[in-house]
Structure 1
Amino acid sequence: MPGTSRREALALGFAAAAMPMLAGGARAAVLKYTLNPVAIAPGVWTIYGLPEPITSKNGGAIANITIFDTSEGAVLIDAGPSHRYGEALKAKATELTGKPVVRVYLTHYHTDHVLGATAFESGTVSAGKTLTADLKKVGNDLTNAMYRVAGDWMRGTDIPTPGREAAEGVETVGERRFRLLPLAGHTSEDLCLYEESTGLLFPGDLVFLDRAATTPDARIDTWRTSLKTLGGIDHKLLVPGHGPVEAGTRGIAQTGRWLDTVEAQINDGFERGLDITELMAVPLPSWTDGIAVAKYEYARSVMHLMPGLEVARLPRLTRV
């Protein structure tokens, strides 16, 4: 269709699919996210993401999202994978707090965390300078990819445009004091937040617990440095980007161990002359047996990281 983007074409196709199937017959079922907030502290709730890859069945609802009640209004840590999710999140936050959403902090630009921000006023959405720049640069590719994978869950979703800058320092919303610490490693910018009154630490996807970490945009050495920084922050509870809330640092240690394991296996496979397919078939150590989607994420990491290793270490061929 001339002048129509892939996303628009998909949206038109989905709209057509939702029309009556027969004259006077059934209509396609309306997709609806079921949000089940769990109280983790007074006036604070976390909605747990599913320990799965993004699929057309789960609509991309795989990341943890947290809601704070404050005297000024609701504050969110991340916004979910789609406009539809963001609308459901807005309604749930208002139901829980009795107030409108006044702040949405985005931790990094991966789709399962940010695309729901399109359901909120730009002036309430806060992101670091690098994250905002990344959304402008690759946002269209990210949304197109999600439309292809998650299908009709994505109807109405576009690229978020944060209207507030999340700079290093302390921001006060009502009685809550959020300490903002821009880090990196999982992506080019990973915003960590610490809420002082509750002692809750939000490292975004710098920390995964009982779910294999994703590495499509990783700089592993930088990630390790960020994990050391996080390990030095005293906290009561840590809320990882994926996995259960915990009262310790097991997620920090486990994420570091996963990165070490993936990097070591890829380096070993490279030295042994394995190709990508052979390397993906190498078994993971037994300690990963209880880690959700470990084999899936390991295979993805091989595809993400092996090409860079080959570029860095293989000799260049020159024409004579």
Structure 2
Amino acid sequence: MRLLLVWLGFCLSPVSWALPVLQVAEVAPGVFVHISAHHWPDRENHGEIANIGFIVGDSCVAVIDSGGSPQQGMALRRAVKKVTAKPVCYVINTHVHPDHIYGNSAFKAPGVRFVGHHKLARAMATRGPHYLSKADELLDIRVGPDNIIPPDLQVKESMTLNLGNRELQLTAHPSAHTDNDLSVYDKNTDTLWLADLLFLEHIPVIDGSIRGWLKELERLEKNQYKLVIPGHGRLVRDWPAGLQAHKAYLEQLAAEIRIMLKQGKTLEYAVDHVGLSARQLWRLFEEFHRKNVTIAFAELEWED
């Protein structure tokens, strides 16, 4: 009987029943990031494919993107609790894509403010029903309207959040990766959290404006940052050198599409011929490149 009780005690111990804690690394003082692998979102990875994390101030914590599933959101919340006893006061969604927002419900609690671009709420309302209808089929996750939480703090141009002796400068960008991109700058560590305004290794994905994206990259590369955190890929400690591959890909698409437009080529021709020399440079090229060409072609054929 004693052995049985000991065995039951082990099986029911808090350690054996511990819930998963998202793996994060402190990449600068008080800045914690989970770096994700490069995968197509599917039923194996449940859409948990983006770099997400949090920043700790003296008073409270700001979560930056909550993850690709409610389960990842919960694991991120446990990671915060493992690092600090300070409460979460802000959840900052950098844009509308599911791999950045599906964990929101894990942080819904009194005192928590959700923050986003002033166009984010509209994008959530427009895309939410489609996202939710496909989540079970494509990602094998159960989500409902409660998982898509629009911002109650909307950034029109810029906003400063104080976490207690730690100011975060939020910037609402013009249409680029999407039409609702938000970046976060931590003054204390000279860290710029660019999210999906920057891709490394993983091919950039256009869901907004190729012209706008190039313009934003050209503006950003004039600045110096000690650390830049992309939405997908490794950390950048050699800014602006670290953005050049991303910028070159978009420039190549724009240049080749403009040539084909002048030659009177069709969209179908462009999709089969534009940017193919970049195939070996990017992960997930086959999954996203043709869509990038399609979106860029539709925009550039109307430019003056």
Shorter-chain TM-score range: 0.7 to 0.9
Q: Which amino acid aligns with 1:174?
A: G
**Is 1:36 aligned to residue 28 of structure 2?**
no
- Alignment partner, residue 223 of structure 1: 213
The unaligned stretches of length 5 or more in structure 2 are 1-18
Q: How many residues align?
A: 279
Query: What secondary structure does 1:207 align onto?
Result: strand
- Which deviates the most, 248-257 or 104-113? 248-257
The verdict on how the C-alpha distance between 1:130 and 1:229 changes in structure 2, with shifts beyond 3 A counting, is same
Residue from 135, 139, 149 that aligns with 2:128: 139
Q: Does 1:68 align with 2:80?
A: no
Partner deviation per Cα, 1:189-213 (whole Å, 9 max, x = no partner) = 2111110001100112111112111
Aligned-pair CA distance for 1:157: 6.3
Shift of residue 284, structure 1, vs aligned partner: 2.0
Q: Secondary structure at the match of 1:49?
A: coil
Q: Post-superposition shift, 1:294? A: 2.1
Q: Is the 8 A contact 2:209 2:296 kept in 1?
A: no
User: Are residue 301 (structure 1) and residue 288 (structure 2) matched?
Assistant: no
User: Which amino acid counterpart does residue 199 of structure 2 have in structure 1?
Assistant: F
Question: Does structure 1 retain, via aligned residues, the 8 Å contact 2:94–2:182?
Answer: yes
Contact 2:120–2:180 (CA<8 Å) still a contact in 1? Answer: yes
* Shift of residue 282, structure 1, vs aligned partner: 6.1
Distance 1:146 1:266, change over 3 A: farther
CA distance in 2, matches of 1:59, 1:34: 16
2:3 alignment counterpart: none
Aligned to 1:127: 116
Matched, 1:236 2:226: yes
Q: Is the CA contact 2:22–2:78 (under 8 Å) kept in the aligned structure 1? A: no
RMSD, aligned α-carbons: 2.6
Shift of 1:170: 2.1
Q: Give 4+ residue runs of structure 1 displaced > 6 Å after superposition.
A: none
> Is the Cα–Cα contact under 8 Å of residues 86 and 119 in structure 1 kept in the other structure?
yes
Structure 1 gaps of 5+ residues are: 1-31, 314-320
Worse overlay, 55-64 or 147-156:
147-156
Aligned to 1:14: none
Preserved contact between residue 104 and residue 147 of structure 2 (Cα < 8 Å): no
Q: Does the Cα contact within 8 Å between 2:256 and 2:275 map onto a contact in 1? A: no
State the alpha-carbon separation in 2 of the partners of residues 275 and 170 from structure 1.
Answer: 43
**Worse overlay, 297-306 or 192-201:** 297-306
Q: 1:261 to 1:143 in 2, by over 3 A?
A: farther
CA contact (8 A) 1:75 1:102 kept: yes
Residue equivalent to 2:37: 50
Q: Which among 152, 160, 171 is matched to residue 163 of structure 1? A: 152
Deviations 1:244-298 (A, max 9, x none): 1111223422221111222334445554745638834667225x52321123221
Give the counterpart of 1:118 among 94, 105, 114. 105
**Aligned position for 2:166:** 176
Most deviating of 299-308 and 188-197: 299-308
**In the alignment, what sits opposite 1:108?**
95
Length-normalised TM-score, structure 1: 0.78
Distance in 2 between the 1:127 and 1:257 partners?
28
Indicate conservation of the 8 Å contact 2:270/2:293, yes or no. no
Matched residue, 2:69: 82
Tell me whether 1:149 sits opposite 2:141 in the alignment.
no
Distance 2:291 2:75 in 1: 31
Pair 190,278 (structure 1): closer, same or farther in 2 beyond 3 Å: closer
For 1:244, what is the secondary structure of its paired residue? Answer: coil
Q: Classify 1:234/1:85 alpha carbon distance in 2 versus 1 (closer, same or farther; 3 Å).
A: same
Q: Relative to 1, partners in 2 of residues 1:309 and 1:42: Cα closer, same or farther, differing over 3 Å?
A: closer
Looking at structure 1, the residues matched to 186 and 152 of structure 2 have their Cα atoms a distance apart, in angstroms, of 22
Q: TM-score, normalised by structure 2?
A: 0.81
Question: Percent identical across equivalent pairs?
Answer: 25
